[in-house]
Amino acid sequence: MKPYIYITRKLPDALVKPLQEKYDVKMWKHDDIPVPRDILIEEVKKADALLSVLADSIDEAVLTAGKNLKVVANLAVGYNNIDLKTASLKGIAICNTPDVLTDTTADLTFGLLMTTARRIVEAAEYLKEGKWQSWNPFLLAGTDVHHKTLGIVGMGRIGETVAKRATGFDMDILYYNRTRKPDAEKKLGVIYTSFDELVKKADFIVCLTPLTAETKNMFTREVFQKMKSSAIFINVARGAVVDEQALHDALVAGEIAGAGLDVFQVEPITVDHPLLKLPNVVALPHIGSSSTETRTSMIELCIENISSILEGKEPKTLVNKDWRPLVKG
């Protein structure tokens, strides 16, 4: 009997074909509607491999149901949706998709920064709504990006790549990270600071930190109040690193000038979300890595990892390094 693979979103048939040629593959029928919890658990009971997305909760109940489950390939860099401890104990390999989305996410991050600073979305809607009746010197005037100070919170691969883009705008670049990055400091001219110093000095604060117990609600009202009143906050990390009510209140009070957000505490958000009602917020539906080329590469990497595990080989991007395959049964 062929190993059984369940995919939690509908993916392009051409990309899934390599798996279908070797294994028994079933996909959820929608690409924009999450697979219901009860169906996910029923499918996991039969599965040798699972290809999941960040919106799927792969918790203890799911992993325990997977009696034959050998690998979960998560279509994302992040994996806070997966219970790593349980996976390791049960001999289930957890894989993610780093590296292939670094440049694409950095592009989106810097684009979101520029869009928020120069009020591009607001200006485009202003024109479409027929409001442009005359020209005046400060019509929809934003703020310059060049020669300003950028503060990066979380200097991983994406953070370094955002810094590289910022050098082309002659920005001074500060960063805060769990560990210093001497190579990045030498190569990019970035300066390591404390978190407190960064939020006080930066004109643009870009959050790219992973979501951990330490970073959850890292950006509080107190933190926003330490920022310049002209500062713009950009979050392309995880929504839960920010106290959204605190961000909303800081924006309304004029304690910071604006925010560009690609992530939220609960996703997807609805049109009545308080932050969407603010004109100085640019909000996106978690599309950091969403280019055709990159999403294709991410899917291909998931497929490669699944095939490797099922063939008894080391996967390319293993997350739980303490994973040890168990004999199922």
Give 82-93 pLDDT, tens digit per residue: 999 999 999 999
* pLDDT average, residue stretch 12-36: 95
* pLDDT average, residue stretch 204-211: 96
* pLDDT average, residue stretch 227-250: 98
Strands 4-7 and 49-52: parallel
User: Residues 6 or more apart from 290 whose CB is under 8 A from it?
Assistant: 104, 108
Quick check: helix, strand or coil at residue 173? strand
pTM over 0.85, yes/no: yes
Domains and CATH numbers, the chain: 4-98+292-310 (3.40.50.720), 102-283 (3.40.50.720)
Q: Write down the pLDDT at residue 329.
A: 47
Q: What are phi and psi of 37, to 5 degrees?
A: -55, -45
Closest of 320, 328, 310, 325 to residue 67, by C-alpha: 328
Q: In percent, how much of the chain has pLDDT > 70?
A: 99
Here the tokens at position 138 are 């400060």
Q: Write down the pLDDT at residue 61.
A: 97
Q: Write down the pLDDT at residue 324.
A: 82
Is residue 48 within 8 A of residue 325, CB to CB? The reply is no
How many CB atoms lie under 10 A from the CB of residue 1?
Answer: 5
How many CA atoms, within 13 angstroms, populate the side-chain half-sphere of residue 113? 31
Q: Examine the pLDDT at 45 and tell me if it is beyond 90.
A: yes
How far apart are the C-alpha atoms of 236 and 256, rounded to whole Å?
A: 18
Q: Write down the pLDDT at residue 327.
A: 58
How far apart are the C-alpha atoms of 71 and 235, rounded to whole Å?
A: 30
pLDDT bin (cut points 50, 70, 90) of residue 186 is very high
Q: pLDDT tens, 292-329?
A: 999 999 999 999 999 999 999 999 999 999 888 765 54
> Any idea which residues carry the catalytic annotation?
238, 267, 286
Q: Compute the C-alpha angle 124/128/129, nearest 5°.
A: 115
